Chain A
Amino acid sequence: MVNKPKIKELLDESSCTHNQSRKVACNAPTPGATTGGCAFEGAQISLFPYADAAHLVHGPMTCLGSSWETRATGTSYPRRDLTQMGFTTDININDVVFSGEEKVAASIDYIMEHYKPEAIFVYATCVTAMIGDDIDLICKQAAEKHKVPMVPVHAPGFVGSKNLGSRLGGEAALSHLIGTREPEETTPFDINLIGEYNVTGDMWQYSPLLEELGIRILSTLSGDGRIAQICTAHRAKLNVIVCAKSLVSLTRKMEERYGIPSISLSFYGRRDTSDGLRAIAKALGNDDLIAKTEQLIAREEAAIAVKLKPYQAFFQGKKAVLNTGGNKTWSIASALQDLGIEVVATAVKKATEDDRAKARQTLGEKGVLMMNPGVEQAKIIDETGADLLLAGGRSLYTAIKKGIAFADVNQEKKKCYGGYEGLLNLAEDLKNALQNPVFKNVLRRAPWEK
């Protein structure tokens, strides 16, 4: 059975803004009015990018069958990328009645024999948590037998949201991996990247810059990560949380246990990237490094400004309405502003208090923070004469009806928008959207409807 006190404690995260405003816990879904993923999904997302580990999902087919090979998390791992593989016990009625524990143990043996991973994460899911399969014990025994870490992940879907699941994933890494190995060497500028999953290779947009500054990424959780490295994470000088609120509890605990301070930032767009680099240099507290970082920022900003020039001329005077959730409400907004697009409105319905404040700051007093974007966006497009709607697929029809360009910001990402260079990808995509005549053509009236 799930470890109840632990989950309760994780829900009560003191660094979470929801707690201060005494709102309902982050994870209370409304029956019949909920769209988000489950805790299992969140845990999987936070741990999946370890390409040298296998991820064994102990449950029936829904949990893994529809979720493997869905995320394009880039890895430089030279051997077979286990992230792109799905392993599941696919339990049947027999397992439900008589327990699926033997299946888990046998599956671990099978995976070790055929794929030789550096670790195996074993996920409990709703049904297997309910029938009480003891994955802790199985993992312990298997770790002794195979001499590689076996990490039980207790994040069955019913405990809550994706967000909570990410925390539980981080928790699993903290209790079974972090601190179990010593790095071969340490440097004064060792950092961990937390909550960067290297989706579409985002991380590679800025990791060369860190390297150039002499900042070493000691480990990541978990973009392009390796098991051997995350085991040494306790020796880092700084934890850098990249756009992932859900992992603050992990970094707080690492601070308590190992004295590692943490900072939270994003590498989305020019300003965020520059600010992020600055923040890291400052936190590492070395004057030379800070000076070097300023030089690098100046160089990179100048270079990107040249490359963006043709786009800026194109985007001049263009207005956009942004309808998305979470940190995207302000991070995309600021990237759009970097391109010279005016953001007239952004949706804050699904954003935290923190994100709302940031959105206000980014958009300025004039910008509209939409509490009910589904209804408001059409009106705002009319009032402001916006040229572009960035939203989830559902809003496409609104854009078409208004005859303006549309960009899907919720679609599974295929292209990387991170760092300085990512801004060019975003610029190119938006330019294509604005130039595409399809939004005007598609609703042409049929001859027999005229």
Chain B
Amino acid sequence: MGEIARKKYKPLQVNPFKLSQPMGATLAFLGVDRCMPLMHGGQGCTSFTKVFFTRHFCEPIAIQTSAVTDAIAVLDGGDYSIVESVKNITKKISPSLIGLHTTGMPETKGDDVCGVAAKIDFPLVTVNTPDYEGGLESGWALTCKALIEQLVNPAQETDDNKLVLLPHVSLQPIEVEKIKEFIEGFGFNVWALPDLSRSLDGHLGEKQAALSSGGISVEEIRALSDAGLVISVGDSMQTCGNVLRKKNPEMRHHHFSHLHGLEAADSLAELLLAETGFSGPPIPVARWRQRLQDAMLDSHFSLGQSRFLVAAEPDQIAGICQSLYDAGGRVTLAISTVDSPQLKKIKAEKILVGDLEDAEQQVEDYDVIVGNFHCEAIAHRHHKGLVLRGFPNWEQVGNPLKNDILYEGGAYFLFECANAATAARDEGRRHPEE
């Protein structure tokens, strides 16, 4: 654990990789089946968000805007545009839920979205996500919390075979699926909230973009509270676990800061063994654990010679740094989009809340970058290795299938990083003077 450098005063962000709360909210709603995210604000926020995720996932993205315009922005409390939106959305399609979330503009005006929503006769979940607070991670977590608070029915009984998974925003669809499979291997029935693995994992659907298709259904959400166990992953999601427990105090809640690396995967397996009373893990789990051990050894030589920059959302940084650290990679600099209690635990020499200009100013400190596609320019200018992770990645296809977690994903991730580090050293030899 390194020193956390609270930012020296800088009035602006230069080359930001931080993303906004409304965008996180949108993504969370997309993990609910037949949900239409409705962003309350100017139409630009929605359009940017739609294009952003469409390009990242290479999937059509369902989203609508309340399209607040000048006159409405100044005169009205937002009622009109929300009511009109719901009317117009339901005219053409029949969502099972509308996910109403705000942006900075209506929050600045002081629109009472919850009040308006209460008067609308349609299943609606409302969440306040001003974009002048928090970031992608908190937008996702707040939405997840709202889904629980506003939809889940209270219960007293528990079903010990039923488990709720609460994944943080940076887990890609395949990662959510892999966690579910891992747990299912121990005999549980798993529900993820939100569940991008069923909605944005790249399936060819007929009703493209009209609505999200796949994801956890509204009925399934309502019925989550009889689960015996809830597992939250990522410190941004810990509160959601607690909130879910309020619906049924009999529920047991376990929290993981992340599921990257040998130790984290081990503790999940340990928990599941204890909960089930099994004497050993399912065969594939054991097999992948051996492969990860092997991968750590195979990659340690390259990783051990390399210094890394990791730029991501806090929960993702925590995991990636642990994975690299375990196999000898030194994270000399970690740059987080926003502040988070998670930062204290990160295995990096220096941790900074900042932007990619900060990253570039300290370019002497690292050889390989793990970050989103905006890092490509830095990697290119300074001949650094690059492993593309996080939002957005518009340069490559296959983002929803990138798996870095548990035994299996951990093995692939280490190999990819080690290979990138080796390639960067070769490149360095070709450009020695730079």
A residues adjacent to B (C-beta < 8 A): 2, 7, 27-41, 56, 59-70, 84-93, 95-96, 102-103, 106-107, 110-111, 114, 126-127, 130-131, 156-161, 393-394, 396-397, 400, 412, 442-443
Contact yes or no, B68 A158, CB < 8 A: yes
Across the interface, name the chain B residue whose C-beta is closest to A39: B44
User: What A residues does B45 contact at CB under 8 A?
Assistant: 38, 62-63, 157
- Report which of B10, B19, B86, B104 forms a contact with A127, defined as CB distance below 8 A: B104
- Report which of B38, B67, B133, B394 forms a contact with A29, defined as CB distance below 8 A: B67
Contact yes or no, A68 B15, CB < 8 A: yes
Q: How many A-B pairs with Cβ below 8 Å?
A: 204
Contact yes or no, A33 B42, CB < 8 A: no
Any chain A CB within 8 A of the CB of B84?
A: yes
Determine the distance from Cα of A442 to Cα of B204 in the docked complex, in whole angstroms: 10
Across the interface, name the chain B residue whose C-beta is closest to A27: B69
Contact yes or no, B108 A90, CB < 8 A: no
Contact yes or no, B73 A126, CB < 8 A: yes
Q: Which of B58-66, B149-157, B315-323, B340-348 contacts A (4 or more CB under 8 A)?
A: B58-66
Query: With A84-B377, A106-B11, A110-B11 in contact, is A32–B64 under 8 Å at CB?
Result: yes
Determine the distance from Cα of A159 to Cα of B13 in the docked complex, in whole angstroms: 25
Contact yes or no, B19 A160, CB < 8 A: no
User: What A residues does B131 contact at CB under 8 A?
Assistant: 60-62
User: What B residues does A107 contact at CB under 8 A?
Assistant: 11-12
Contact yes or no, B41 A32, CB < 8 A: no
Determine how close the nearest CB of chain B comes to the CB of A28; give it in whole angstroms.
7
Determine the distance from Cα of A160 to Cα of B71 in the docked complex, in whole angstroms: 11
Determine the distance from Cα of A56 to Cα of B13 in the docked complex, in whole angstroms: 10
Contact yes or no, A394 B48, CB < 8 A: no
Query: With A66-B19, A90-B18, A110-B11 in contact, is A156–B42 under 8 Å at CB?
Result: yes
Contact yes or no, A91 B43, CB < 8 A: no
Contact yes or no, A92 B132, CB < 8 A: yes
Across the interface, name the chain A residue whose C-beta is closest to B66: A31
Contact yes or no, A41 B47, CB < 8 A: yes
User: What B residues does A35 contact at CB under 8 A?
Assistant: 47, 50
User: What A residues does B13 contact at CB under 8 A?
Assistant: 61, 86-90
User: What B residues does A59 contact at CB under 8 A?
Assistant: 104
Contact yes or no, A393 B38, CB < 8 A: no
Determine the distance from Cα of A28 to Cα of B373 in the docked complex, in whole angstroms: 35
What would 19 A/B residue contacts be, using CB atoms closer than 8 Å?
A: A31-B85, A32-B38, A32-B85, A32-B86, A34-B65, A34-B67, A38-B45, A56-B12, A60-B20, A60-B104, A60-B132, A61-B131, A62-B22, A68-B16, A96-B108, A126-B73, A158-B73, A393-B54, A394-B209
Most buried by A among B85, B92, B131: B131
User: What B residues does A412 contact at CB under 8 A?
Assistant: 55, 394
Determine how close the nearest CB of chain B comes to the CB of A271; give it in whole angstroms.
31
- Report which of A28, A67, A106, A130 forms a contact with B108, defined as CB distance below 8 A: A130
Most buried by B among A35, A62, A126, A412: A62
Contact yes or no, B16 A65, CB < 8 A: yes
Any chain A CB within 8 A of the CB of B70?
A: yes
Determine the distance from Cα of A441 to Cα of B86 in the docked complex, in whole angstroms: 40
Determine the distance from Cα of A2 to Cα of B70 in the docked complex, in whole angstroms: 10
User: What A residues does B46 contact at CB under 8 A?
Assistant: 34
Determine how close the nearest CB of chain A comes to the CB of B119; give it in whole angstroms.
16
Query: With A31-B81, A62-B104 in contact, is A88–B11 under 8 Å at CB?
Result: no
Across the interface, name the chain A residue whose C-beta is closest to B135: A61
Determine the distance from Cα of A206 to Cα of B236 in the docked complex, in whole angstroms: 52
**Known contacts A31-B82, A40-B44, A67-B48; can you find 14 more A-B pairs with CB under 8 A?**
A28-B69, A32-B65, A34-B65, A34-B67, A35-B50, A62-B23, A62-B49, A62-B131, A107-B12, A126-B41, A126-B73, A130-B73, A158-B68, A393-B60
Any chain A CB within 8 A of the CB of B213?
A: no
Any chain A CB within 8 A of the CB of B396?
A: no
Closest CB pairs A-B (n = 3): A38-B44, A32-B85, A157-B42
Across the interface, name the chain A residue whose C-beta is closest to B105: A126
Contact yes or no, B208 A397, CB < 8 A: yes
User: What B residues does A103 contact at CB under 8 A?
Assistant: 11-12
Query: Which residues of B (129-156) have their CB < 8 Å from a CB of A?
Result: 130-133, 135
Any chain A CB within 8 A of the CB of B287?
A: no
**Residues 13-54 of chain B: 1 if any A CB is under 8 Å from the residue's CB, otherwise 0?**
111111110110000000000000010011111111111101
Query: With A68-B15, A130-B105 in contact, is A62–B48 under 8 Å at CB?
Result: yes
Most buried by A among B12, B49, B92, B208: B12
Any chain A CB within 8 A of the CB of B306?
A: no
User: What B residues does A93 contact at CB under 8 A?
Assistant: 130, 132-133
User: What B residues does A34 contact at CB under 8 A?
Assistant: 43, 46, 64-65, 67
Contact yes or no, B105 A69, CB < 8 A: no
Query: Which residues of B (71-102) have their CB < 8 Å from a CB of A?
Result: 73, 80-82, 84-89, 92
Contact yes or no, A160 B20, CB < 8 A: no
Contact yes or no, B69 A85, CB < 8 A: no
Contact yes or no, B44 A157, CB < 8 A: yes
Across the interface, name the chain B residue whose C-beta is closest to A156: B42
Determine the distance from Cα of A329 to Cα of B56 in the docked complex, in whole angstroms: 27
- Report which of A30, A86, A95 forms a contact with B16, defined as CB distance below 8 A: A86
Determine the distance from Cα of A109 to Cα of B43 in the docked complex, in whole angstroms: 31
Contact yes or no, A41 B44, CB < 8 A: yes
Determine how close the nearest CB of chain B comes to the CB of A224; give it in whole angstroms.
19
Any chain A CB within 8 A of the CB of B252?
A: no
User: What B residues does A393 contact at CB under 8 A?
Assistant: 54, 60
Query: With A34-B43, A60-B130, A87-B14 in contact, is A396–B208 under 8 Å at CB?
Result: yes
Contact yes or no, A88 B12, CB < 8 A: yes
Contact yes or no, B104 A30, CB < 8 A: no
Determine the distance from Cα of A126 to Cα of B132 in the docked complex, in whole angstroms: 12
- Report which of B12, B22, B23, B49 forms a contact with A110, defined as CB distance below 8 A: B12
User: What A residues does B255 contact at CB under 8 A?
Assistant: none
Determine the distance from Cα of A111 to Cα of B13 in the docked complex, in whole angstroms: 10
Across the interface, name the chain B residue whose C-beta is closest to A95: B132
Across the interface, name the chain B residue whose C-beta is closest to A374: B210
Contact yes or no, A86 B15, CB < 8 A: yes
- Report which of B11, B70, B92, B392 forms a contact with A158, defined as CB distance below 8 A: B70
Any chain A CB within 8 A of the CB of B374?
A: yes
Determine the distance from Cα of A40 to Cα of B48 in the docked complex, in whole angstroms: 11
Any chain A CB within 8 A of the CB of B103?
A: yes
Determine the distance from Cα of A412 to Cα of B82 in the docked complex, in whole angstroms: 31
Contact yes or no, A31 B67, CB < 8 A: yes
Query: With A38-B43, A39-B44, A397-B206 in contact, is A126–B104 under 8 Å at CB?
Result: yes
Determine how close the nearest CB of chain A comes to the CB of B342; give it in whole angstroms.
19
Contact yes or no, A33 B69, CB < 8 A: no
Contact yes or no, A37 B52, CB < 8 A: no
Contact yes or no, A394 B16, CB < 8 A: no
Contact yes or no, B108 A33, CB < 8 A: no
Contact yes or no, A38 B42, CB < 8 A: yes
Contact yes or no, A160 B11, CB < 8 A: no
Contact yes or no, B208 A160, CB < 8 A: no
- Report which of A33, A62, A111, A131 forms a contact with B64, defined as CB distance below 8 A: A33
Determine the distance from Cα of A81 to Cα of B294 in the docked complex, in whole angstroms: 45
Contact yes or no, B104 A96, CB < 8 A: yes
Contact yes or no, B47 A38, CB < 8 A: yes
User: What A residues does B69 contact at CB under 8 A?
Assistant: 27-29, 158-160
Determine the distance from Cα of A336 to Cα of B394 in the docked complex, in whole angstroms: 28
- Report which of A33, A95, A106, A400 forms a contact with B88, defined as CB distance below 8 A: A33
User: What A residues does B392 contact at CB under 8 A?
Assistant: 66
Determine the distance from Cα of A7 to Cα of B73 in the docked complex, in whole angstroms: 15
Across the interface, name the chain B residue whose C-beta is closest to A44: B44
User: What B residues does A102 contact at CB under 8 A?
Assistant: 11
Contact yes or no, A159 B12, CB < 8 A: no
Determine the distance from Cα of A195 to Cα of B159 in the docked complex, in whole angstroms: 63
Query: With A41-B48, A156-B42, A157-B43 in contact, is A61–B19 under 8 Å at CB?
Result: yes
Contact yes or no, B204 A90, CB < 8 A: no
Determine the distance from Cα of A59 to Cα of B13 in the docked complex, in whole angstroms: 11
Query: With A33-B89, A394-B60 in contact, is A66–B43 under 8 Å at CB?
Result: no
Contact yes or no, A66 B133, CB < 8 A: no
